[in-house]
């Protein structure tokens, strides 16, 4: 099944303390969001992906902020089941395609979407969603590019997620609001599970 169809929201997570990774993932899965993107923005990210892959079997764990072929190799080696990039250079697209795991290459313009579609990629990340034009922009893309579907990420909030999800060319959205830094620091997994349950109910 497509990554875009597994859950309405993919939590986009920044891990500062690797010890929070497994309980956080368990809370997200319990709330109904099994697909989790851990961004490669912090030192513990790869270890966090590995721990979640090993200890939370119901989670579909992936790596985000993938920028280089080295990131691709390290992420897959750590246990990532999918990859997400903020943009897509030709060399990065080649590396992700050769990785053997599903991936969402990032695009923000019609030309970028068309270039990736020429490679046969019809499911993409739209980033940065709000800054790049948001819901109106995606509506406009649906006319000339009706066969491409997106996971918009970047600036999306609980109040706007449903507007994105109502679009025919949006399969899911990515959001950072599901794992607030203060909740992770405090180990407030009940709050994380509640936020996940609210997000899972969006569709």
User: Mind telling me the catalytic residues?
Assistant: 37, 125
The three-point CA angle 67-72-77 to 5° equals 145
Query: How far is 106 from 98, CA to CA, in rounded Å?
Result: 17
Q: What count of Cα atoms within 13 Å lies in the side-chain half-sphere of residue 166? A: 8
Task: State the pairing for strand pair 103-107/123-126.
Answer: parallel
- Beginning with the edge strand found earlier in the chain, give each strand of the sheet holding 60-64 in spatial order: 149-152, 123-126, 103-107, 82-84, 60-64, 35-39, 9-13, 173-175
């Amino acid at each position: 099944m497509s990554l875009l169809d597994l859950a309405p929201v993919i939590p986009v997570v920044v891990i500062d303390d690797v010890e929070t990774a497994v309980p956080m993932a368990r809370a997200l899965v319990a709330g109904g969001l099994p697909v989790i993107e851990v961004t490669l923005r912090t030192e513990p990210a790869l270890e966090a992906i590995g721990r979640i892959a090993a200890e939370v079997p119901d989670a579909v764990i992936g790596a985000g902020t993938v920028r280089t072929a080295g990131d691709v190799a390290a992420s897959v080696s750590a246990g990532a089941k999918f990859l997400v990039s903020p943009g897509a250079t030709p060399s990065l697209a080649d590396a992700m395609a050769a990785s053997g795991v599903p991936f969402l290459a990032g695009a923000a313009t019609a030309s970028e979407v068309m270039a990736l579609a020429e490679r046969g990629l019809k499911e993409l990340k739209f980033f940065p969603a709000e800054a790049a034009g948001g819901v109106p922009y995606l509506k406009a893309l649906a006319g000339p590019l009706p066969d491409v579907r997106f996971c918009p990420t970047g600036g999306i909030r609980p109040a706007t997620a449903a507007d994105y999800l109502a679009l025919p060319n949006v399969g899911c959205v990515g959001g950072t609001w599901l794992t607030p830094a203060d909740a992770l620091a405090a180990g407030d997994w009940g709050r994380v599970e509640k936020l996940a349950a609210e997000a899972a109910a969006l569709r």
